[in-house]
Amino acid sequence: MADWIESYKLLGIEGLKFKRKKKKGLSYEDKCKIVREYQESELTLFQLSAKYQLSSSLIGNWVKLVERNGFEALESRRSRYFQTGEHMVKRLPKEEYEKENERLRKENERLRLENLLLKKVRALVEEREARNRAIGNGPSKN
């Protein structure tokens, strides 16, 4: 709502008209310019939002990113991905997946058997305690 008020103060009725922007994002330089303007001027996020016709939350996110990680954080993720390849996941050969699958199957079976064994032990302990109660002995300390 405050975005609308600032937009109206800055641009009048034109500032209230819905303008759909293309999905193409702003350049790194434009983002840096807007954040610097916020940091160096007395303008609020809402005023900058109206001036650049962007959401105040988007500008606020950029400001937080810069405060935490510096201006480099404003570079688009896509361009960083293509430059560094940091988010690329190397696919393993099919044989590696099959080996890992087999290892997990064996571990799963071992855990299933361990679980059955523990249930059997619990049942035997409960049965012994019931027998002891029936003949008047208290529970074992072991």
Check whether residue 29 and residue 96 sit in a common domain. Answer: no
Check whether residue 95 and residue 49 sit in a common domain. Answer: no
pLDDT of residue 141: 63
Low-confidence ranges of the chain (pLDDT < 70): 1-8, 10-11, 14-24, 76-90, 138-142
Check whether residue 103 and residue 75 sit in a common domain. Answer: no
Catalogue the long-range contacts made by 6-14 (C-beta closer than 8 Å, 24 or more residues apart): 6/44, 6/46, 6/47, 6/49, 6/50, 7/49, 7/50, 7/53, 8/50, 9/50, 10/47, 10/50, 10/51, 11/50
Check whether residue 106 and residue 75 sit in a common domain. Answer: no
pLDDT of residue 127: 94
pLDDT of residue 136: 80
Check whether residue 11 and residue 54 sit in a common domain. Answer: yes
Check whether residue 77 and residue 116 sit in a common domain. Answer: no
Q: Total structural domains in the chain?
A: 2
pLDDT of residue 142: 60
